């Protein structure tokens, strides 16, 4: 069965589209004095914490894979080190700089045949 012919996939895509449209339209359609329920406000606090790893992890693990590899270990190591720096310093610049330097060093060492 192909992706285009799979009915469940089509239903899932349509349902996700409707939910996304309703969520975005609610800010335009609802009156400005509409209050959101407490449970929704509480749940929305966790959206950023859930979305960020969902966006970052596939790029970290599965980008630039060599033949036969299932995970990019250089990116994983750089991400772990950058995460520790972010946890300790709370600095975006230090986190990004550390992650890039570690990744570049690992790639450079690999090109020399060290890693």
Domain locations in the chain?
Answer: 1-34, 37-112
Question: Tens-of-pLDDT digits for all 115 residues of the chain?
Answer: 565 567 888 888 999 999 999 988 888 888 888 888 899 889 889 988 888 888 888 888 888 777 777 888 899 999 999 999 999 999 999 999 999 999 999 999 988 987 5
Task: Specify the pTM.
Answer: 0.61
Q: How far apart are CA 38 and CA 59, in angstroms?
A: 34
**Which residue is listed with tokens 């799979």?**
6
């Amino acid at each position: 069965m192909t992706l285009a012919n799979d009915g469940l996939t089509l239903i899932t895509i349509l349902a996700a589209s409707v939910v996304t449209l309703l969520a975005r339209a609610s800010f335009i359609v609802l009156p400005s004095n509409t209050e959101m329920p407490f449970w929704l406000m509480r749940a929305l606090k966790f959206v950023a914490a859930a979305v960020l790893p969902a966006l970052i992890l596939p790029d970290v693990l599965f980008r630039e894979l060599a033949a036969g590899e299932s995970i990019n270990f250089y990116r994983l190591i750089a991400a772990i080190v950058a995460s520790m720096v972010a946890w300790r310093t709370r600095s975006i610049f230090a986190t990004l700089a550390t992650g890039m330097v570690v990744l570049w060093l690992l790639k450079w060492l690999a090109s020399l045949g060290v890693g």
